[in-house]
């Protein structure tokens, strides 16, 4: 079933790899859902480091051809259904994930890439939830975080770190230590973490809180933080990085592997609906300002999530 929709849509795309300036507003045909697919009228889309790597050409997914529309997480309302779709209907509020295409008024994804949006979740939060929520779930699952653990989260004030802190507490961690700049320490305390400043001397500051070391550590800051995390961790196989893959190999640490799934996302949205998770939105940009939004993410060290307001 296909709803009445415009034949063209607003989107932001790039036709060459490069700095944020290559992102340009464009008009593109509205995509049609095929069998098993759902078209979503996008209300908000998250801005991820993945999108920046895509724009720069560091990440080159198979089959991506110019013009490339970035965006791999979104929220909106179901607009049209391909044949065989049974789990959603027109008008349903949803959030979901895709490899590309979310910086646009419409996106088409497989039905299994969507979950229902909780009523208590605003559109901005829903648009910026999927990527970091699933990343935190995947990483903490690989770290085997559970009751009684002492956990170190680097870059704890960012979009992924904020959710990882809360998820560690929800899964029973007794102590969560989070690294962040001084202005974000109160934010971490409010999430239930003990804040420490990142940078030189991190190992000593963590050991002042956890003299025997930490049970598990997540790095979202880079090689220096990963080295400090490995030094204070009791179990090297429970140290995971999201960013410093080469350094992890050098240190003999495990590499994170796994896929985004609707079941993983549904578990996280259920925790959000119960009040166990919240997501701070630090900035919301109009779709046409996607370049500014990516620059905001590139600066780093910000609190919470950057999202694009696509439709109302």
Residues 232-253 have pLDDT tens digits of 999 999 999 999 999 999 999 9
pLDDT for the residue numbered 63:
79
Map 248-268 to HEC letters. HHHHCCCCCCCCCCHHHHHHH
With tokens 């009523």, the residue in question is 119
Reported as a single tens digit per residue, the pLDDT across 102-116 is 999 999 999 999 999
- CA 223, 229, 231: angle at the middle one, nearest 5? 105
pLDDT for the residue numbered 6:
86
* pTM flag (> 0.75): yes
| Cβ proximity of 128 and 306 under 8 Å | yes
pLDDT for the residue numbered 1:
47
Q: Enumerate the H helices of the chain as residue ranges.
A: 49-56, 123-127, 130-142, 159-170, 185-191, 202-209, 223-232, 245-251, 262-273, 290-299
List b or e across 175-209, with b for residues whose CB sees 16 or more CB atoms inside 10 angstroms: bbbbbbeeebbebbeebebbbbebeeebeebbeee
**Which residue ranges of the chain lie beneath pLDDT 50?**
1-2
* Phi and psi torsions of 271, nearest 5°: -65, -40
Q: Is 136 helix (H, G, I), strand (E, B) or coil?
A: helix
**CA quadruple 231, 237, 240, 246: dihedral sign:** positive
The CA distance from 17 to 159, in Å, is: 25
* Phi and psi torsions of 287, nearest 5°: -50, -45
| Cβ proximity of 95 and 126 under 8 Å | yes
* C-alpha to C-alpha distances, 145 to 209, 212, 225, 240, 249, nearest whole angstrom: 18, 17, 19, 12, 22
């Amino acid at each position: 079933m296909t709803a009445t929709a415009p034949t063209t849509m607003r989107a932001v795309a790039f036709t060459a790899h490069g700095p944020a300036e290559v992102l340009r507003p464009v008009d593109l045909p509205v995509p049609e859902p095929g069998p098993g697919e759902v078209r979503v009228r996008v209300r908000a889309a998250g801005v991820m480091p993945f999108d920046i790597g895509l724009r720069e050409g560091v990440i080159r997914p198979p089959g991506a051809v110019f013009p490339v529309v970035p965006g791999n997480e979104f929220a909106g309302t179901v607009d049209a259904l391909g044949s065989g779709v049974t789990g959603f209907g027109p008008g349903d509020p949803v959030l979901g994930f895709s490899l590309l295409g979310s910086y646009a008024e419409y996106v088409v994804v497989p039905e299994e890439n969507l979950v229902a949006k909780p009523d208590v979740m605003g559109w901005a939060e829903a648009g910026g939830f999927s990527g970091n929520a699933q990343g935190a779930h995947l990483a903490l699952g690989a770290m085997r975080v559970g009751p009684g653990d002492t956990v170190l989260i680097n870059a704890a004030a960012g979009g992924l770190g904020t959710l990882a802190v809360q998820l560690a507490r929800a899964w029973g961690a007794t102590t969560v230590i989070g690294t962040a700049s001084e202005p974000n320490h109160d934010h971490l305390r409010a999430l239930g973490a003990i804040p420490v400043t990142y940078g030189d001397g991190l190992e000593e500051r963590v050991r002042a809180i956890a003299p025997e070391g930490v049970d598990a550590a997540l790095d979202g800051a880079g090689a220096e933080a990963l080295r400090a995390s490995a030094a204070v961790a009791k179990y090297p196989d429970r140290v995971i990085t999201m960013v410093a893959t080469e350094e992890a190999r050098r240190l003999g640490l495990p590499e994170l592997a796994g896929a985004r799934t609707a079941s993983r996302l549904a578990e996280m949205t259920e925790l959000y609906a119960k009040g166990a998770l919240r997501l701070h939105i630090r900035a919301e940009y109009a779709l046409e300002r996607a370049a500014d939004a990516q620059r905001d993410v590139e600066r780093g060290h910000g609190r919470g999530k950057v999202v694009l307001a696509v439709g109302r």
